[in-house]
Amino acid sequence: MTRLGPYAIEVIGDSLTGLDGAARRLAVMDLAHGLGCSEGHIYRKWKALSGNHRAPRKDRRRRKIAITAEIKEFMFGLTGRADLSAEHVLLIASRHFGLPENFMSTGTYNNWLRQERVSRAENKKDLRPYHTHLWRDKANALHQFDATVALAFYANDDGSIGYEPGHERYKNKPGNRRPRLHLYSLTDYFSSTIFAKFYFSENALNLLDFVFCAWSQKQDSCFPFYGIPDQVYCDQGAPSKSAKFMHALKVLGVDKVKTDPAHWTDSGSRKFGRAERTFGEGLLKEFMKTTLLYCYASIEEMNGALWHWLIRLNNKIHRTHNEPRFARWLRTVGTPRSMPSEEMYKLLHYDRATPTVRNNLQFQLNGKTFQLPYRKPFINWTQAKIEAYWYPGYEEAVSVVYDHHEEEIKALAPVVQMSDPYKTVAKTEREELVERLKTQNYSSINFPAIYTPEKDLPYLPRKGETFDETKIAEKTIVGADLRVRPSFAPERYLSREQAGAWLRVEGFRNKQMSEEEFAWRDALMAGREKIPETELRDAAIVFYRDRTGTEDQ
């Protein structure tokens, strides 16, 4: 599209001012040819120059349709609970409450939904408030970490690391017995310095080993990042809530910032955090591309390549800070809070044993009896040797690992995993409205009759009216045993002319209808356009029998 400068726009304004109709069209054609652009582009520039000079309506933004609050919430509930379209909602409301079928346009109803923030699009979004933005003014004040499953990676039988593209069947998919590759990542909030490491599973023991590697001083001076942070920000996974990890944070003097659970909802997954948004999706996706060309012999070789990748990444100038991550960390960290590596290792690593699970899902350890829960996958662990980990001096709680599953249990009792509650937030007006809409009762709606044609609406029960069963015509037939029974054929409705022809076909008359018969037929129709065949038959039997003493003419 040709970009028009201020002079060209001024020429358009001067040329089209005062013109309309055919004269304006000819002037637009000349301008488009001379300026080298489309006629539509000329019209758009002219519209921007001239503006809209129409006076606003006096009743603008005023609701012209008056309905009760009961009907309004009834309609909103249909949209919120069943995600019905505006046209469908208006049809149900009109027939349920006896309103005209066009009592409201779909555009007006959709505007009402948007004004109350309960539209179909907004109902599919997660509108709960997030935590306020975290801000720290120095390095090592807050560390964020997360574990991301590398679905495309898998471990070969010889220990090498392989890769499969997305269109193939993942060997590393959930449920596969192959070790799953996980990337643990940690980000310093202020400097954005990144540390990461690959593991073959996600559990509390790997998490403790990861933070030990991240927070202890490195032997390689090219990676200066180390130190115990003041706070950590992580998801609500089982490893980060385990007693081992929480005990280590308590001893190290680290506060854990509570986060909203990153679980699946009707609106999608609630996941936020710098480590999740950028590192897990950005760095991992870029680093994994190298496996298209090279197969790592082991996870140690892969972590070695990742180590050099991180050094290169942290020495690059960060676009937001306009300085390298390492430089920003060194400039603001001061003296990092740390402890000797040997003491930290003892704190973050645990004793290990391999007890055997009995048939009653119990095992003995350190003179105590532990009971596994009676549910999957533990019921398949009988007579199996499992790995048990515990912190020295705290033998009342152990972590058991078997078949790629980890669970923390206490002595003589199964573990009940409780998720952290949401932070209590005052309900907004929209949330209160949504709660009320969930309580709407639609049991009185006759859904099978909602789509009945308009001529049959008298048979549709209205709100507050009793259904009149006498208006239903039941077609009967005389069987071979001369007994009357309901007919399997549907009822047929006859007009005036069809009723006269039917009387001749059925043998009630064999000549032209008399004035008496015409009067009898009109009285029987009683102003109706059509009459049921069953009603006509019963009336004809009585009428002709009274006239002649028989049913035949």
DSSP summary character for residue 458: G
Q: Which residue has the higher pLDDT, 213 or 262?
A: 213
Contact call for residues 211 and 145 (beta carbons, < 8 A): yes
370 and 434 share one domain: no
497 and 462 share one domain: no
335 and 278 share one domain: yes
Q: How many domains does the chain have?
A: 5
* Single residue among 300, 317, 344 that ends a domain in this structure: 344
Q: Where are the beta strands (DSSP E) in 384-492?
A: 387-391, 394-402, 405-410, 476-478, 484-486
Q: Is 55 within the bounds of a domain?
A: no
Residue 532 has pLDDT above 90, yes or no: no
Contact call for residues 193 and 325 (beta carbons, < 8 A): yes
DSSP for 258-296 reads: P-----EETTEE----HIIIIIIIIIHHHHGGGGGT--B
pLDDT at position 148: 79
256 and 173 share one domain: yes
* Single residue among 344, 373, 393 that ends a domain in this structure: 344
Measured distance CA(88)–CA(106) in Å, rounded: 9
* Single residue among 295, 316, 344 that ends a domain in this structure: 344
What region, left, alpha or beta, does residue 220 occupy, with left being phi > 0 and alpha being psi -120 to 50 degrees? beta
Over range 66-89, report the average pLDDT.
89
369 and 514 share one domain: no
- Among 103-112, 240-249, 414-423, top mean pLDDT goes to 103-112
pLDDT at position 463: 58
200 and 313 share one domain: yes
Q: Which backbone phi and psi does 490 adopt, to 5 degrees?
A: -70, 160
Kindly report, residue by residue over 272-286, the tens digit of the pLDDT. 444 454 454 456 667
Residue 225 has pLDDT above 90, yes or no: yes
196 and 321 share one domain: yes
Measured distance CA(186)–CA(211) in Å, rounded: 9
Residue 552 has pLDDT above 80, yes or no: no
pLDDT at position 415: 43
Q: Is 422 within the bounds of a domain?
A: no
- With H, G, I as helix, E, B as strand and everything else as coil, classify residue 15: helix
Residue 138 has pLDDT above 90, yes or no: no
213 and 296 share one domain: yes
Residue 346 has pLDDT above 70, yes or no: no
Pairing mode, strands 142-149 and 405-410: unpaired
Residue 541 has pLDDT above 50, yes or no: yes
- Bridge partner residues of 233 (DSSP): 144, 257
Q: Is 147 within the bounds of a domain?
A: yes
Task: For Cα atoms 191, 339, 209, give the angle at the middle one, nearest 5 degrees.
Answer: 75
Residues in Cβ contact with 531 at an 8 Å cutoff, skipping those fewer than 6 apart: 493, 494, 499, 524, 525
Over range 176-195, report the average pLDDT.
82
Over range 346-359, report the average pLDDT.
80
Residues in Cβ contact with 430 at an 8 Å cutoff, skipping those fewer than 6 apart: 116, 117, 118, 127
Measured distance CA(187)–CA(191) in Å, rounded: 8
Q: Is 104 within the bounds of a domain?
A: yes
Q: Is 56 within the bounds of a domain?
A: no
Contact call for residues 229 and 141 (beta carbons, < 8 A): yes
pLDDT at position 551: 46
Over range 8-17, report the average pLDDT.
86
Across the chain, mean pLDDT equals 78
147 and 296 share one domain: yes
**Which CATH number does the domain housing residue 245 bear?**
3.30.420.10
Q: Where are the beta strands (DSSP E) in 22-117?
A: none
The count of residues in the chain is 553
Kindly report, residue by residue over 423-474, the tens digit of the pLDDT. 556 778 888 888 888 888 887 787 777 776 655 544 455 555 665 555 555 6
37 and 149 share one domain: no
Residues in Cβ contact with 320 at an 8 Å cutoff, skipping those fewer than 6 apart: 192
Confidence tier at 553 by pLDDT (50, 70, 90): very low
250 and 203 share one domain: yes
Q: How far is CA 314 from CA 11, 150, 317, 435, 497, in A?
A: 54, 22, 8, 48, 93
Confidence tier at 356 by pLDDT (50, 70, 90): very high
pLDDT at position 174: 52
Residue 80 has pLDDT above 70, yes or no: yes
pLDDT at position 227: 92
Domain carrying residue 376: 351-410
Measured distance CA(95)–CA(296) in Å, rounded: 68
Q: Which residue has the higher pLDDT, 117 or 467?
A: 117
Q: Is 424 within the bounds of a domain?
A: no
Question: Which residue in this structure is represented by tokens 């306009």?
Answer: 322
Q: Where are the beta strands (DSSP E) in 108-175?
A: 142-149, 153-155, 161-163
End-to-end CA distance of the chain: 88
Q: Is 390 within the bounds of a domain?
A: yes
Tokens of 541: 């039997």
pLDDT at position 229: 92
Return the amino acid letter for 349: H
Kindly report, residue by residue over 318-342, the tens digit of the pLDDT. 888 889 999 999 999 988 888 777 6
Residue 15 has pLDDT above 80, yes or no: yes
pLDDT at position 226: 92
Q: Where are the beta strands (DSSP E) in 67-137?
A: none
Q: Is 502 within the bounds of a domain?
A: yes
Contact call for residues 553 and 544 (beta carbons, < 8 A): yes
Residue 142 has pLDDT above 80, yes or no: yes
Task: For Cα atoms 12, 18, 24, give the angle at the middle one, nearest 5 degrees.
Answer: 60
160 and 294 share one domain: yes
Tokens of 282: 């950005």
- With H, G, I as helix, E, B as strand and everything else as coil, classify residue 395: strand
Residue 389 has pLDDT above 70, yes or no: yes
Confidence tier at 207 by pLDDT (50, 70, 90): confident
Spell out the SS3 assignment of 191-221. CCCEEEEEECCCCHHHHHHHHHHHHCCCCCC
Tokens of 291: 């496996």
- With H, G, I as helix, E, B as strand and everything else as coil, classify residue 112: helix
| Angle at which helices 496-505 and 533-548 cross, to 10° | 60
pLDDT at position 243: 76
- Bridge partner residues of 247 (DSSP): none
